Structure 1
Amino acid sequence: MLNGIKMLMIAQTEQQVADIKAGKLQYTEDRRLISVSSEPNVEQLIKIKKGNKVEPYLNLENLDKQSKTRKQIQAIQEEVNLTKTVFLAEKELESGKYEANDDPVDPDWFTHWKDNAEKVSNDYMQTLWAKVLAGEITTPGTYSLHTLDLLKKLSKNEAELISKLGEFIIDGQVVQGIMSPRGFGNDSDTVEKMMNEKGLHFTNLLYLQEIGIISGVDSMGLTATYNSSDPSSFVRAFTSKSCGLVARHSDPQKKIEFNVLHTSQLGREIFNLADFNTDREYLKSIAQEVANIGFDVQIGGWLQLNKTKGKLLNPEAILPNNSK
């Protein structure tokens, strides 16, 4: 009930701001909102001289009033933005995804967050700023000032592009396929086609590299090598959001080499904010490539039990095909 009242008050205030901007309401010096005439006051901007000759002139008194009104509108809008974002952060904390923490948030960090969050009016971007605050409250140091600076500059379209790239992340890297014997990336273009269909073509990937999210876009391919987590046989689990891929082999010395785009620390913090799910067909495609080089592979949901262990849920075996 209380949350509903908060949202109603915010909505009413936003409407009042819109009415002030449209000239329907006026905010007086004694902080009252009054209705104003909808008829335009032509003499605010012009002065009539010598018959019908019209010349522009500068009405300093009117300009001063307009300047004060703009500042008042901005102050009200910033207060609305901040209130909405804090409200969203409260809802995020109530989601159960966060653990309680008594460590205080750095005052300088919070000031930096507040100064940026109050400028954000877009609903989608407000949810990102809310997640930043919720994450920092529960684990101070989660989001750097560098991340706040990048988030401040991101448009809604750019944030959505990052979310789309997040669908192709496995174990913190953008996995593009198994490394070929020649060392130039995977032979299959399946993953590339999937990424292109979601707007993740070379130009957009290069842009994400330029702003510091990923690296390796303009190279011949970066490599990530994974060894077994078990000394007696090869066992390796790869996680992707709420999904998992588990590869097994009788030889503990086996390795899996992926062609990847590396994510930066900045990128990992931003990906942690983005709202996305793993592309299941993509995960299956990568699993197929791992199976094709001789590993027993399963994919499914993933339940993280603690910091080092997890469990594959509803496992699906991926059998090798004849493409290799």
Structure 2
Amino acid sequence: MKITPQHISPEMKKTQKTEVNGTITATSQPAAEKVANSTQTDASRQRMLTWFARVGISPSMLSPDPKKQKHALERRKQILETQKASNLQAVLNIALNVSINEQTSDNLDPDWFFAFSTMAEEIYSPPMQELWGKIFAVEVARPGSFSLRTLQLLKTLTHRDAKVFNKAVNIASRKSNDTVPRILVGYHKRKGLLSFLRKPIPEQINLASVGLSYPDLLSLQEMKLIYASEIESAEYSEGQQVTWRCVNENITLTCKAPGVALVYYKFTSVGSELYKLVTKSTNETYLQEIKQVLSEVFNIS
């Protein structure tokens, strides 16, 4: 039987393909796919329009009429100024609800405050506004806690950057009476004459396995929140003790043998200032792994 076009169902016609010079091409796009693409395009267009509307811009904003053009530009200026005032109000409301026990009679530096307000008015993300509100509350209670250099760096951080920093904070430790956090990753032991006869043991943990990937580390280094390379402590003598506090847990290390040094990533001064503000939660996986590695050369309690 000769097959004519009327013998082909509508569904088959939509997916019919033609071979020309060995190359198969579709003669038409499925209707369902066209509808899906159209819906996706409309949704993307709507998101674009919504974002630009927040800064007072629309596709047909500017008119050839000078009066209408002036009105549109004034309206845009008003939208931007209103948004900046709203940002500052959000930061203030957060600061008013922060409880700070330690107070001082020292006055806030006016230069610091006006620099702070100029930067804070351009913080639009609620999570970042919360961070800026905490900074202001702490600075009022203890002037000098946060440098302008810290604020300038903080202004460049996004909410995503802050989430990466939070990962680092959750695995950071501080020694007693030390304000600088460090991320302990393992140890280095001075090699003895018979060390080649012993079974190799892991000397460092893989931070990626506890949630802090190598790209995260690079990002933190580029933001100048931690130093760019690992650092070794001074060597511990046999029996020497040191206590670290990781979030809410104290870890006391007693060295089993001489010639052992801890290996860690150290927070910068800016990173140390921001560390005080971040809400912390214990990373149990990290604690288990770092204890397991350090137990080779330290007694842990």
TM-score (norm 2): 0.68
Letter paired with 2:284: R
* Superposed counterparts of 1:1-324, under 5 Å: 21=53, 45=63, 58-93=64-99, 97-171=100-174, 172-181=181-190, 187-188=202-203, 190-195=205-210, 198-201=211-214, 203-217=215-229, 221-225=230-234, 234-248=240-254, 257-293=261-297, 295-298=298-301
| Gap change, CA 1:106 and 1:205, over 3 Å in 2 | same
Letter paired with 1:159: A
Using the alignment, how far apart are the partners of 1:128 and 1:145 within structure 2? 15
Letter paired with 2:278: A
| Gap change, CA 1:255 and 1:170, over 3 Å in 2 | farther
Using the alignment, how far apart are the partners of 1:67 and 1:43 within structure 2? 8
Using the alignment, how far apart are the partners of 2:61 and 2:120 within structure 1? 39
| Gap change, CA 1:297 and 1:83, over 3 Å in 2 | same
Using the alignment, how far apart are the partners of 2:273 and 2:188 within structure 1? 27
3-state SS, counterpart of residue 215 of structure 1: coil
1:267 Cα deviation from its structure 2 partner: 1.3
1:233 Cα deviation from its structure 2 partner: 5.7
TM-score (norm 1): 0.64
| Gap change, CA 1:254 and 1:140, over 3 Å in 2 | farther
1:281 Cα deviation from its structure 2 partner: 2.4
| Gap change, CA 1:74 and 1:190, over 3 Å in 2 | same
More strand by share: 1
For CA contacts below 8 A with separation 6 or more, give which structure has more relative contact order: 2
Using the alignment, how far apart are the partners of 1:260 and 1:70 within structure 2? 50
Q: State whether residues 232 and 261 of structure 2, in contact with CA within 8 Å, keep that contact through their aligned partners in structure 1.
A: yes
Using the alignment, how far apart are the partners of 1:260 and 1:235 within structure 2? 17
3-state SS, counterpart of residue 105 of structure 1: coil
3-state SS, counterpart of residue 250 of structure 2: strand
1:134 Cα deviation from its structure 2 partner: 1.3
Segments of 5+ residues of structure 2 without an aligned counterpart are 1-49, 175-180, 192-200
1:287 Cα deviation from its structure 2 partner: 2.2
| Gap change, CA 1:43 and 1:80, over 3 Å in 2 | closer
Larger radius of gyration: 2
1:89 Cα deviation from its structure 2 partner: 0.8
| Gap change, CA 1:43 and 1:214, over 3 Å in 2 | closer
1:34-88 residue CA offsets vs partner (Å, 9 max, x unmatched): xxxxxx9x8974xxxxxxxxxxxx2221111111111111222122111111110
- Cα RMSD after superposing both structures: 3.2
Q: State whether residues 189 and 260 of structure 2, in contact with CA within 8 Å, keep that contact through their aligned partners in structure 1.
A: no
Q: State whether residues 216 and 222 of structure 1, in contact with CA within 8 Å, keep that contact through their aligned partners in structure 2.
A: no
Using the alignment, how far apart are the partners of 1:105 and 1:256 within structure 2? 45
1:173 Cα deviation from its structure 2 partner: 1.0
3-state SS, counterpart of residue 241 of structure 2: strand
Using the alignment, how far apart are the partners of 2:157 and 2:87 within structure 1? 17
Q: State whether residues 161 and 200 of structure 1, in contact with CA within 8 Å, keep that contact through their aligned partners in structure 2.
A: no
Letter paired with 2:87: N
**1:36: which partner in 2?**
none
Using the alignment, how far apart are the partners of 1:108 and 1:168 within structure 2? 35
| Gap change, CA 1:234 and 1:43, over 3 Å in 2 | closer
1:284 Cα deviation from its structure 2 partner: 2.7
Segments of 5+ residues of structure 1 without an aligned counterpart are 1-17, 23-39, 46-57, 299-324
1:199 Cα deviation from its structure 2 partner: 4.8
| Gap change, CA 1:43 and 1:200, over 3 Å in 2 | closer
